[in-house]
Structure 1
Amino acid sequence: MSSVSQTLPARRGPLVVAGGVVVAILLSSVANALIAVLAHALGAPDDFDPLKASSYIFLTVLGVLAGSAGWALVRRFSRDPERLLRPLVPSVVVVSFVPDFFKFEDGEVTGVVALLLMHVAVAVLAVSAYRKVMPLGPVR
């Protein structure tokens, strides 16, 4: 017979959770900076505002914070958070693409593709951090 400590995820303290979220923000910002540099090297115009650090870092912070709040809510209230998050995370990422598609009107393809890649990179890095600092438990 297994004990409760073996079946439930360890509860992390608020400083550990906050630290994990900060690390996700930092790593995501670095990944986005690399994507922006690559996009500019491949022909995205220097004046494409969404690829300026002030734009994507601000939105990265908002996205990671919103994602962490959503993750915590699902973790807290869902009977099976893993099952709920499996389709929810990719769905949220796809919905986050919508504003970027309006940038195609400017005829800017390279920059828009870079923005889409940024969303995916942030999601991958943030979910990895959330799993470490806010682990999902078994079905309750």
Structure 2
Amino acid sequence: MFVAFLLSSLVNALIAVLAHALGAPDDFRPLEPSSYVFLTALGVLGGSVGWTLVRRFSPDPERLLRRLVPSVVVLSFVPDFFLFGEGEVTGVVALLLMHVAVAVIAVPTYYRVMPLSSVRATRSPG
């Protein structure tokens, strides 16, 4: 999981730099490393907890995760939408991209570290 956190943080740093270069204000707090690195850690950790629970309790974790992952990512956008009210479009779009970047990096890591196929293989039939 640490690798997913590290890669996600690096990609998010790149997104923040690009957002500032494209006009996001320097004082837009969500694009400061202290904000997005902490939230990246929470996202990767929270995702791994959710992944573990789905692996453990779902009869068909693959099918459930195919629906759950995109839904959770879209729901994670909601707090960022409230920042549009501050009039900061470039920064908010960057934040939305950060959510997607974390998912794109973390989900393959979860598949590798916590494969879904091993769960089905260890469950008894019926």
**CA distance in structure 2 between the partners assigned to 1:119 and 1:98 by the alignment:** 11
> 1:18-37 counterparts in 2 under 5 A?
21-37=1-17
Letter in 2 for 1:28: S
2:19: which partner in 1? Answer: 39
Match of 2:41 among 61, 82, 99: 61
Q: Give me the identity figure in percent.
A: 77
Equivalent residue number for residue 111 of structure 2: 131
Calculate the TM-score normalised by the size of structure 1. 0.84
Unaligned runs of 5+ in 1: 1-20
Q: How many pairs does the alignment contain?
A: 120
Inter-partner Cα distance in structure 2 for 1:118 and 1:56: 8
Q: What per-residue deviation string (whole Å, max 9, x for no partner) do you get for residues 82-134 of structure 1?
A: 00000100000000000000000010000000000000000010001001000
Q: Are 1:90 and 2:70 an aligned pair?
A: yes
Deviation readout 1:40-88 (Å, 9 max, x if unpaired): 0000000000000000000000010000000011011111100000010
Residue type at the aligned position of 2:116: L
In structure 2, the partner of 1:121 is 101
Task: Work out whether 1:103 is the aligned partner of 2:79.
Answer: no
CA deviation profile, 1:3-58 (whole Å, cap 9, x unmatched): xxxxxxxxxxxxxxxxxx10000000000000000000000000000000000000
How many angstroms apart in 2 are the aligned matches of 1:45 and 1:92?
Answer: 28
Runs of 4+ in 1 over 4 A off after TM superposition: none
Using the size of structure 2 for normalisation, the TM-score is 0.93
- Matched letter for residue 28 of structure 2: F
Name the CA distance, whole Å, in 2 between partners of 1:66 and 1:88: 13
Match of 1:80 in 2: 60
Highest CA radius of gyration, 1 or 2? 1
C-alpha distance in 1 between matches for 2:56 and 2:42: 21
